[in-house]
């Protein structure tokens, strides 16, 4: 049996083909444009997602026995607003997770409706990237488009709809809309009323491993797949990545160094950070998780390498970094504003501490360290709640860097487990497809059976102590600069 995992990212869709033993047979990636129509705005065309996903699936299964393909599932970029009209036309380009236009609406939700009420309704407060503020923005700024809305969905759920015809979502991704009662796993009546929408405009809710339907006959024909291929609900990218790294069950931890960066801690019990600096979401394993999300992680390194240094030689640039824990240059990683723990769309990136003898290598090192310090901010919130994981998995593009993994281990002072497959959301999606097709009885059992740890990066006491001192300095910079952004 074969299973397709679709990782709908911000720069590309990555698809992988996995067999029932967890072996990855093939990986295909297809890029699509990202649009910035105004400073701080970020949009994509859902039609591009589906077109490239369809092409990717055709390429993915071109050399296999297609009758063996049993299920397809998704890990998708979260929070994006996809709006369809009565004829299922996309009304406007999707407003993405890293879009910062909703400052006014976010302030209204947090300060007029009130953070206490929001937390009571949804277990979270409003962040600029969440879906509910986008709905309010559209209502206020594009009333004609708002009036046409028949269906509101999330990015990966648009793919599920196009493939199966099922208007669906699942709890992990829906948790990031600010429309879901996370604790009780149902749409919040209060938030629906606040946003001026109707429950019928929201999709049916599923668990991440549940089938939502099968391929539509015409789609199956186009893709060259059997019509009985099951479409499985899937998960938000971070929950899918957590499944793909076996970050399931109580107290497991994963750090993702993708376009955005996350600290993800799974839990069997529902809990809320009283300051709402961390998100409290449902997990793809059927339980819950706490998550700190920073908007720019590996994308900081990509910006530094591609746009500033004008190089693609990432590894060569990192080879010159040798003095860990001793860098006098600091970097604030807020290229797109920041979510956890500052909730400040106006935050901006900065280099601090440069002198005439500052080197290229020191600035490269500062970028990697700054992102890691930003994730440490979220770990400190978790620790304040009594959640103190001793080790973490790691995934995302940045996780392929041995240097960055070493920095993470010592900044966090945690053991960092490296897994055999670093495919994160796509691999987690394929595992969810296998569970949905009955190969495994639960997500937790599947993940723990299929995901293999191949190495561990241990923190070094002396280096961890140096980074502790540097982190204490780093966390003072944002409060000092906040009023000047």
What crossing angle do the helices spanning 360-384 and 402-412 adopt, rounded to 10°? 40
Q: Rounded CA gap, 44 and 90, in Å? A: 11
> Is 95 a domain residue?
yes
Per-residue confidence (pLDDT) for residue 258, from 0 to 100 = 87
pTM of the model: 0.89
Q: Is the peptide bond before 35 cis (omega within 30 degrees of 0)?
A: no
What phi-psi label fits residue 25: left (phi over 0), alpha (psi between -120 and 50 degrees) or beta? Answer: alpha
Q: Rounded CA gap, 147 and 458, in Å? A: 55
pLDDT tens string, the chain, 485 residues long: the values are 999 999 999 999 999 999 999 999 999 999 999 999 998 899 999 999 999 999 999 999 999 999 999 999 999 999 999 999 999 999 999 999 989 899 999 999 999 999 999 999 999 999 989 999 999 999 999 999 999 999 999 999 999 999 999 999 999 999 999 999 999 999 999 999 999 999 999 999 999 999 999 999 999 999 999 999 999 999 999 999 999 999 999 999 999 998 889 999 999 989 888 888 899 999 999 999 999 999 999 999 999 999 999 999 999 999 999 999 999 999 999 998 998 999 888 899 999 999 999 999 999 999 999 999 999 999 999 998 888 899 999 988 899 999 999 999 999 999 999 998 778 899 999 999 999 999 999 999 999 999 999 999 999 999 999 999 999 999 999 999 999 98
Per-residue confidence (pLDDT) for residue 271, from 0 to 100 = 85
SS (H, E, C) 418-449: EECCCCHHHHHHHHHHHHHCCCCCCHHHHHHH
Q: How is residue 407 written in tokens? A: 């920095």
Q: Of 48, 237, 282, 417, which one is the catalytic site residue?
A: 237
> Is 143 a domain residue?
yes
Q: Rounded CA gap, 460 and 409, in Å? A: 8
Q: Rounded CA gap, 156 and 166, in Å? A: 12
Closest CA to 401 of 305, 468, 471, 332: 305
Closest CA to 232 of 24, 16, 435, 444: 435
Distance from first CA to last CA of the chain, Å, rounded?
53
Per-residue confidence (pLDDT) for residue 421, from 0 to 100 = 79
> Is 221 a domain residue?
yes
The CATH number of residue 43's host domain is 3.30.420.40
Residue 12's SS3 state is: strand
Q: How is residue 453 written in tokens? A: 């740890």
Q: Within 10 Å of residue 325's Cβ, how many Cβ atoms?
A: 19
Q: Rounded CA gap, 399 and 353, in Å? A: 27
Q: How is residue 257 written in tokens? A: 């160094």
CB-neighbour burial class of residue 85 (10 A; exposed 0-12, middle 13-18, buried 19+): middle
Q: Rounded CA gap, 255 and 257, in Å? A: 7
Q: Rounded CA gap, 6 and 371, in Å? A: 27
Q: Rounded CA gap, 457 and 459, in Å? A: 7
Are 368 and 317 spatial neighbours (Cβ–Cβ below 8 Å)? no
Question: DSSP assignment, residue 341?
Answer: T
What phi-psi label fits residue 155: left (phi over 0), alpha (psi between -120 and 50 degrees) or beta? Answer: alpha
Closest CA to 405 of 257, 240, 265: 257
CA distances from 386 to 30, 380, 383 (A): 42, 10, 5
Q: Within 10 Å of residue 314's Cβ, how many Cβ atoms?
A: 20
> Is 434 a domain residue?
no
The reply to whether 328 sits in an annotated binding site is no
- Domains of the chain: total: 1
Per-residue confidence (pLDDT) for residue 396, from 0 to 100 = 86
The reply to whether 184 sits in an annotated binding site is no
Write out pLDDT tens, residues 12-65: 999 999 999 999 999 999 999 999 999 889 999 999 999 999 999 999 999 999
**Catalytic residue check, 237:** yes
Q: Rounded CA gap, 50 and 160, in Å? A: 10
Per-residue confidence (pLDDT) for residue 387, from 0 to 100 = 86
> Is 458 a domain residue?
no
Q: Rounded CA gap, 432 and 440, in Å? A: 9
Contacts of 365 (CB under 8 A, 6+ apart): 321, 323, 324, 327, 329
Are 27 and 16 spatial neighbours (Cβ–Cβ below 8 Å)? yes
CA 138 to chain CA centroid, Å, is 23
H-helix segments, 303-342: 314-319
Residues in the chain: 485
For residue 164, the enclosing domain spans 2-238
Q: Rounded CA gap, 450 and 23, in Å? A: 8
Question: DSSP assignment, residue 295?
Answer: S
Per-residue confidence (pLDDT) for residue 385, from 0 to 100 = 83
> Is 369 a domain residue?
no
Q: How is residue 408 written in tokens? A: 């993470």
Per-residue confidence (pLDDT) for residue 474, from 0 to 100 = 98
> Is 153 a domain residue?
yes
> Is 131 a domain residue?
yes
């Amino acid at each position: 049996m074969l299973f397709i995992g679709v990782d709908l990212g911000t720069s590309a869709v990555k698809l992988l083909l996995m067999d029932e033993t967890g072996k990855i047979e093939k990986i295909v990636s297809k890029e699509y444009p990202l649009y910035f129509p105004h400073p701080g705005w970020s949009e994509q065309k859902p039609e591009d997602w589906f077109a490239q996903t369809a092409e990717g699936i055709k390429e993915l299964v071109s050399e296999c026995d297609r009758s063996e393909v049993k299920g397809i599932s998704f890990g998708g970029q979260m929070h994006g607003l996809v709006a369809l009209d009565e004829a299922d036309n996309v009304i406007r380009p999707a407003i993405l997770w890293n879009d910062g236009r909703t400052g006014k609406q976010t302030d209204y939700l947090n300060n007029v409706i009130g953070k206490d009420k929001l937390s009571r309704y949804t277990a979270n407060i409003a962040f600029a990237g969440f879906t509910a503020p986008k709905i309010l923005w559209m209502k206020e700024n594009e009333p004609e488009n708002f009036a046409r809305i028949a269906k509101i969905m999330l990015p990966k759920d648009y793919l599920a709809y196009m493939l199966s015809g099922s208007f669906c979502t699942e709890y992990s991704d829906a948790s990031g809309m600010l429309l879901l009662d996370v604790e009780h796993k149902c749409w919040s009546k209060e938030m629906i009323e606040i946003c001026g929408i109707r429950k019928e405009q929201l999709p049916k809710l599923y668990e991440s491993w549940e089938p939502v339907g099968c391929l539509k006959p015409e789609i199956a024909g186009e893709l060259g797949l059997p019509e009985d291929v099951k479409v499985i609900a899937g998960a938000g990218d971070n929950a899918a990545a957590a499944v793909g790294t076996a970050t399931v069950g109580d107290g497991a931890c994963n750090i993702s160094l993708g376009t955005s960066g996350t600290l993800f801690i799974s839990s069997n019990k529902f809990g809320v950070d009283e300051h709402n600096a961390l998100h409290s979401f449902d997990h793809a394993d059927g339980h819950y998780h706490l998550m700190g999300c920073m908007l720019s992680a590996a994308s900081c390194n990509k910006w530094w390498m591609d746009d500033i240094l004008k190089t693609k030689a990432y590894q060569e640039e990192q080879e010159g970094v040798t003095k860990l824990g001793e860098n006098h240059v600091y970097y604030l990683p807020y290229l797109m504003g920041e979510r956890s723990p500052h909730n400040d769309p106006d935050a901006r990136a900065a280099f601090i501490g440069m002198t005439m003898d500052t080197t290229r290598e020191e600035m490269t090192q500062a970028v990697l360290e700054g992102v890691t310090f930003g994730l440490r901010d979220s770990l400190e919130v978790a620790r304040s709640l009594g959640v103190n994981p001793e080790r973490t998995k790691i995934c995302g593009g940045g996780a392929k860097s041995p240097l960055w993994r070493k920095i993470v281990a010592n900044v966090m002072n945690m053991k960092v487990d490296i897994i055999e497959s670093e495919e994160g959301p796509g691999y987690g999606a394929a595992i969810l497809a296998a569970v949905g097709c009955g190969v495994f009885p639960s997500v937790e059992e599947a993940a723990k059976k299929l995901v293999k740890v191949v190495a561990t990066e241990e923190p070094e006491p002396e280096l961890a102590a140096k980074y502790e001192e540097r982190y204490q300095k780093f966390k003072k910079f944002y409060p000092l600069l906040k009023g000047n952004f």
